[in-house]
Structures are given as structure tokens and as C-alpha cells.
Chain A
Amino acid sequence: MNMALREDDGDQSGVTHVGGVPRQLARKLFEGLAGFRELMVARINDVNATTMREVMAAATSVASVVEGATEHITRVKQMVSALDGQGGGGVSGAIARQGEVLRRFFEAVSRDIARQESTAQRAQTQLQRITKAASDTANLASAARLLALNARIEAARVGGHGNCFSTIAGEMQHLAEQITRANEFIDSLASRLSQDLPELAQTAHALRQSSEALRHDLSAAAHDVDVETEAMRAVIGRLLESSDHEMAKLIGTSHEALSHLQFQDVIAQGLLRLEPPLRELQIGQADQLGAPDLAADLPAAQHVEIGGDKPVDQQNAGEVMLF
């Protein structure tokens, strides 16, 4: 209702009237409503501050749970990664590398032993040849001795003219004896070697077999380690998956809790929406009293909803529209 300002001239007692109400009373009513409005706004701000403080504390606690859970799962993943050895690191990686080093070492040892065995076999063959050559030389020495003897007989038969032949025969005899002694020495060496070399070859063979067996055992052990590591990895994977799932649930529930805490903002805005209608009420009251000038200096409402006053639209809450 828009009532025109109509100020009476005053009654017999000199009291000024507006709209039939004494101006002083109109001002008091107006100021009373203004006081009520101020009190209301102050209380609203107080309630909003309190709920915001409490909701912030609750939200901080929930956020702390979420952050703690996230840090925990990150730490678990780091520990598992160190153990699991994804990308070549970790304990299982170290075991695998150690196994590889040992495998290479035994392969090298096996190769060296095989070479030694082969060398011993070749030496045996060479020894047989030396023995044969010594035997041939012994035959030659024997023939030379026989020849020297014949030469000496012939020299004796010829007499003085055969003296020089006798000397040569003597030298040949001496040479044949030296060859025989050398042959005997070679024979003795060959004999000792022929005893040692088969033993050496046998030792090399046995060593190669031991080395092969050890390499085989090592390979089996490495396979066992691989199997166990794989099993451990599978268990850890399942554990992580389950942990991830539980953490995701925890984080999801926490976010859900946080989304419920948004009621504080909705309520705060709802309460603040009371301020503009109260201001309008004051202006209307001044109008009804026939004294709109009383509301001329009213400050603007602190809270202005550009969408206007309305109930909270819970039906569309959370709706996402992308343009």
C-alpha cells in the first residue's frame, strides 16, 4: 500500500501526526522494527558463524581422514614396490640379479673346466706320440749300436788300415749309448706323465660334472625363487587391489559426508535471505505510517540474491550441466 505523506498540522496539544498516528510514535515503531532487523541480522550472522566454524571443524576432520588414508596407501605402495621390485629394483630384483651373477660364474667355471679336460686329453694323445717316437729312437740307437759293433769287427779284420773306422765305430757306440740314456729318461718322464694325465683328465671331468650339477641346482633354486616371487607379487597385488578398493570406499564415503556438510552453506544463505524482506517490511511500515521519509536512509541489504528469494531446490542438487 502506498500511502501519501500526509502530515497533519497538529492537534490542540501541538502533537504532529502522520497518517493519523503521532509522528513520535511512528518513529518509535519504525526504530523498533529497525532494531529488530539489526538484531535478527546479527543473530543470523552469529548462527552462520557458529555453524560454519563447527562444519569447518567436521570437514577438516573428514579431510584429515581422507588425506591420512591417501598417504597410507601411497606409503604401502612404496613399500610394496621396494619389496616387489617392479622395474628391476627391490628385494626380488636383487635376488634375481644375484642368481644371474652366480649363473654366469658357474657357466664360466664350467667352460674353463671343459677346456682343462680337453687339454688333458690332448696332452695324453701327445704323450702317446712321444712314447712312440722314443720307442722309434730306441730302435735307431739299437741299430746304431749293432752297426758300430759290425764296424769295429770289420776294422779289426782289416787291421791297421781300419783304425779310423774303429774310432768312428767307438763314437757311434758312445752316441747310441747317450741316445739310449736320453730315451730311458724320456721313458721315465712319459711313464710318470701317463700316470698323472689320466688322473688329471678324470679330475677335470669330475669337476665339470660337479659344476654342471651345481649349475643345475642353482637354476632350479633360481626357478623356485622366481615362482615364490611371482606368488608373492600376486598376493601383494591382490592385497593392494583390496586395499585400493577399501580406500576408495573410505574416500568416497568421506566425500559423501563432506557433501552433506554443504547444508551449512545452504542454510546460511537461506537465513541471510531473511534480511531483504525485513528491509522491505520496514519500508512498507514507513509507507503505511504515511512517513516514507523515515526509510529514506535505510542501508541496503548486505545479502542480495541475484536469483531472488526461493526455496532450496533439492531435486536438482548435484546436477551437472555442461554446455
Chain B
Amino acid sequence: MAKKVLVVDDSPTVRQQVGLALKQAGYEVVEATDGADGVAKVGSDSSIGMVILDVNMPRMNGLEMLETVKAGGANANLPVIMLTSEGQQSLIERAKKAGAKGWIVKPFKAELLVAAVKKLLVA
């Protein structure tokens, strides 16, 4: 059974591009449009094996979602990669501290994103 990856981004173009790259690599993809939607999806679908998460989003940003999910207990070990145009060290440190496994700066390259997902899902 294909591993399921949740892609959380308010940009439909980014969701589509990430989704295509991951589907090509054999993963199943589900989408969420912001942090609040992402938290709900993670809470209702236990088969999600990884999260690709944007930072700047309406309603709930990516770092808030990360901190919420990691504090949730059941999903504390869910691997999360941040995918964002942000590159500030303070934000990277905050994500790292909250339990993110990686940080990718947009615009991303499909093969590098897929390689990172594979590496973390195998580990």
C-alpha cells in the first residue's frame, strides 16, 4: 500500500506540483489548504505517514500547526518537512525545536523533495 503524504499549503499551484511529484514517486497524496485544515486532516486520518507543510498560511500558519500536531501525543512522531519561501534562521530553529524533520526553501526541486520524503519515510 502506498504511503500517504499530507500536503498543507494555501497555494493550489504548490499543492498541485508537490502532489504530482509525490504521486509520480508512488505516494498517495492528500491536501489541506491551511494549518487548521491540516490539523483536522491529521486528526481524522491515521494512515497519514508524513506532512509537507508551508509556513505562511491564513487562519493557522505552518509553525502553529506543527506545534499543535507535535503536542497532540498520537501524532508526535509524524515526520514533518517545512516547505516555505522563508529562510530566517530563527524560524528554522523554531521548527526544529518543535520537531520538524526538514526545511526546504521554495521554489523547490521535485527530485530533491522526493528524495527527502523517501529518506525520512525509510528512517
- Residues of A at the B interface (CB closer than 8 Å) are 52, 55-56, 59-60, 63, 66, 70, 251-252, 255-256, 258-266, 268-269, 302-308, 310, 312-313, 316-323
Q: Is B110 a contact of A306 with CB atoms below 8 Å?
A: no
* Alpha-carbon separation in the docked complex, A320 to B20 (Å): 19
* Alpha-carbon separation in the docked complex, A320 to B87 (Å): 11
Q: Is B56 a contact of A259 with CB atoms below 8 Å?
A: no
- Residues of B at the A interface (CB closer than 8 Å) are 11-14, 16-17, 20-21, 24, 55-56, 58, 61, 63, 85-88, 91-92, 96, 100-113, 115-116, 119-120
Known A262-B14, A318-B105: A307·B120 in contact at CB below 8 Å: no
Q: Is B87 a contact of A55 with CB atoms below 8 Å?
A: no
4 A-B pairs closest in CB distance: A262-B107, A255-B110, A307-B86, A265-B11
Known A307-B88, A312-B85: A321·B56 in contact at CB below 8 Å: no
A157 to chain B: closest CB distance in Å?
A: 119
Note all chain A residues with C-beta closer than 8 A to B101: 322-323
Pick the contact of A320: B13, B21, B92, B113 (CB < 8 A). Answer: B113
When C-beta atoms are compared, the residue in chain A nearest to B95 turns out to be A323
Q: Is A66 a contact of B20 with CB atoms below 8 Å?
A: yes
A245 to chain B: closest CB distance in Å?
A: 15
Q: Is B17 a contact of A258 with CB atoms below 8 Å?
A: yes
Q: Is B13 a contact of A318 with CB atoms below 8 Å?
A: no
Instruction: Give the number of residue pairs across the A-B interface with Cβ within 8 Å.
Output: 118
B29 to chain A: closest CB distance in Å?
A: 12
Known A66-B24, A252-B111: A319·B104 in contact at CB below 8 Å: yes
When C-beta atoms are compared, the residue in chain A nearest to B19 turns out to be A63
A240 to chain B: closest CB distance in Å?
A: 19
Q: Is B105 a contact of A322 with CB atoms below 8 Å?
A: no
* Alpha-carbon separation in the docked complex, A320 to B52 (Å): 13
Q: List 10 A-B contacts (CB under 8 A).
A: A55-B13, A56-B12, A255-B111, A264-B11, A305-B86, A306-B63, A317-B106, A317-B108, A318-B107, A320-B103
Interface centre among A63, A252, A258 (most CB of B within 10 A): A258
Question: 13 other contacts beyond A262-B14, A316-B87, with CB at 8 A cut-off?
Answer: A255-B21, A258-B17, A262-B13, A264-B13, A265-B14, A266-B107, A303-B56, A318-B105, A318-B109, A319-B104, A322-B102, A322-B116, A322-B119
Note all chain B residues with C-beta closer than 8 A to A304: 56
Q: Is B88 a contact of A70 with CB atoms below 8 Å?
A: no
Q: Is B103 a contact of A306 with CB atoms below 8 Å?
A: no
Q: Is B105 a contact of A313 with CB atoms below 8 Å?
A: yes
Q: Is A323 a contact of B102 with CB atoms below 8 Å?
A: yes
Known A258-B17, A318-B107: A305·B56 in contact at CB below 8 Å: yes
A146 to chain B: closest CB distance in Å?
A: 105
When C-beta atoms are compared, the residue in chain A nearest to B16 turns out to be A59
Q: Is B13 a contact of A52 with CB atoms below 8 Å?
A: yes
* Alpha-carbon separation in the docked complex, A258 to B17 (Å): 7
Note all chain A residues with C-beta closer than 8 A to B109: 255-256, 259, 318
Pick the contact of B56: A252, A261, A269, A312 (CB < 8 A). Answer: A269
Known A70-B24, A259-B110, A305-B56: A320·B102 in contact at CB below 8 Å: yes
* Alpha-carbon separation in the docked complex, A47 to B122 (Å): 41
Q: Is B110 a contact of A320 with CB atoms below 8 Å?
A: no
Note all chain B residues with C-beta closer than 8 A to A56: 12-13, 16
* Alpha-carbon separation in the docked complex, A231 to B81 (Å): 48
Q: Is A323 a contact of B110 with CB atoms below 8 Å?
A: no
Q: Is B12 a contact of A262 with CB atoms below 8 Å?
A: no
Note all chain A residues with C-beta closer than 8 A to B13: 52, 55-56, 59, 261-262, 264-265
Q: Is A258 a contact of B20 with CB atoms below 8 Å?
A: yes
Q: Is B55 a contact of A307 with CB atoms below 8 Å?
A: yes
When C-beta atoms are compared, the residue in chain A nearest to B92 turns out to be A321
Q: Is A316 a contact of B14 with CB atoms below 8 Å?
A: no
